[in-house]
Amino acid sequence: MKLLRIFIFIIAGLYAYSSWHFKPWQRGGEDRSGVLNWDVYGYSIYLSGLIHNDLLGLKFLDSIETKYKPCDDAWGYGRFKVPNTDKAVCKYTVGNAYFMSPFYYGAHLYASYSDKYPADGYSRPYSIGVCVAWIFWACWGLYLLGAVLIRYFPAVVVVSVLGIIALATNFYCYTVQTVGMNHIPLFFCASLCLYAGDTWAKTGKAAWICLFMFGLSASVVLRPTELVLFLLLPLLWVFVRKYQPNVKEFLAQRWKQILCAGVVGLLVGLPQLWYWYATTGKFVHYSYQGEHFDFSNPNIWKGLFSYRKGLFVYCPILLASFLGIIPLWKRNKSVTAILLLYLGINVYVIFSWTAWSYGGSLGARAMIQSFAFHGILLASAGAMFYNLYQRISWRLARWFLVSKIYAIISLAIGLQLLQTVQYHKVIIHWDNMTKESFWLVFGKSELSPEERQKVDELYSRPIVD
């Protein structure tokens, strides 16, 4: 665990340095809303609505949009008028506001005593607060994932897996550059569920099953499609079976704990139900007007392999997850089956959304929360190579194996850091990448005038799914 803690402190320092380099809180200039634009602006409406005492009407946002232009004059972005009322309903669910709130309101306290920044919910301190929050939740999520993996896999393997997730995938970009999206809190919740579920099975203490249910419920109010996480409930049975001689007796003796956990889950979701009822008169409201699922026509291949947003195109190191399936199956068939079922259905649901590319993003951002479960497969693959390393007696062969593995990881990290810089400089476009533009800019942190003209021409072409 000491190695894990040291690693997390190093990652936190790298994230802080990277965030200072990208300065996302300055996005758009001094008079703009920094990271609190577009979707993140929508998530923040719950918090700013409480500041302005106008959570149900949201009329204060007219002046905010005029002053800060968080959505480039797209009036009413993230909110819809409720017909025949003076109310407006937020497009987004409340979950992200939960994770923003301690840092957002800390920034509000600072702004309230500041002569430089208005305490209106969208000046510079609020963006800085969100940037700090996302580093905090990212590091906690990585720590919790590491803490549960280290119970089953060698520490060096676990730290390597966390390094892959933290630096060699677009998890990095969404922690330090494109800050405030709900994928980092979702990753935290997934890691919390794994750690809390395993710890409850080991200790039988009520706090852990309540934290498990908090993670599940918070995931759903962060993004309702995370209902697929409930497919992982059988993992609790597997965890309990590992630690307890009689599973049914263990569960029966803790029915009050399970009931208490259900109450916790309900309490996490109640603010959302109350808000929908207060604004629309219905406890459940579909707020994504004009957007929907098409389960008969999923875009799975595009979501995983297209040059536009393909998961394995922009995070190729995740292909190593497939190497972990067979050794994990040999180790625990139940865990493998549950994990593959969840990952398969999750991919199907995510890429059945008609806007499968999910707007502006670096790669398939909607998959980031599932990296916690890819981490299990990566750890399984890593353990396979670790066991191979231990069986090799020839020192040169050992060195060759280790050097090749860490050379691949280093290249993957370098590629991801470069892609994040490219995304920051719009060398990689947020939504209009093609095979031609991908290979034209591949490996380049700067473009010549001729190359810039060429990619601008490519990016100006109509998007073709």
**pLDDT over 90 at 463, yes or no:** no
Query: What mean pLDDT, rounded, does the chain reach?
Result: 96
Number of other residues whose CB lies within 10 A of the CB of residue 19: 20
pLDDT at 286: 92
| 385 Cα distance to chain centroid | 28
Residues 6+ apart with CB under 8 A from 102: 133
**pLDDT of residue 464 exceeding 80:** no
pLDDT of 226-257, one tens digit each?
A: 999 999 899 999 999 999 999 999 999 999 99
30 or 465: which leads in pLDDT: 30
pLDDT per position as a tens digit, 309-364: 999 999 999 999 999 999 999 999 999 999 999 999 999 999 999 999 998 999 99
Q: Both tokens of residue 422?
A: 């490219």
pLDDT of 272 above 80: yes
Distances (CA, A) of 351 to 108, 185, 230, 254: 37, 20, 19, 38
pLDDT of residue 465: 65
Share of the chain residues as helix, strand and coil, in percent rounded to the nearest 5? 70, 0, 30
- Cα–Cα distance, 393 to 404 (Å, whole number): 17
What pLDDT, in 10s, does the model give residues 1-30? 889 999 999 999 999 999 999 999 999 888
Alpha-carbon span 65 to 104, nearest angstrom: 19
Q: Tens digit of pLDDT for each residue in 85-130? A: 999 999 999 999 999 999 999 999 999 999 999 999 999 999 999 9
CB atoms within 10 A of CB 180: 26
H/E element, 127:
helix 124-149
The torsion defined by the Cα of 151, 154, 159 and 160, in degrees rounded to 10, comes to -140
Per-residue pLDDT of 133-145, as tens digits, reads 999 999 999 999 9
Report d(CA 368, CA 440) in Å as an integer: 26
pLDDT digits (tens, 9 = 90+) for 174-200: 999 999 999 999 999 999 999 999 999
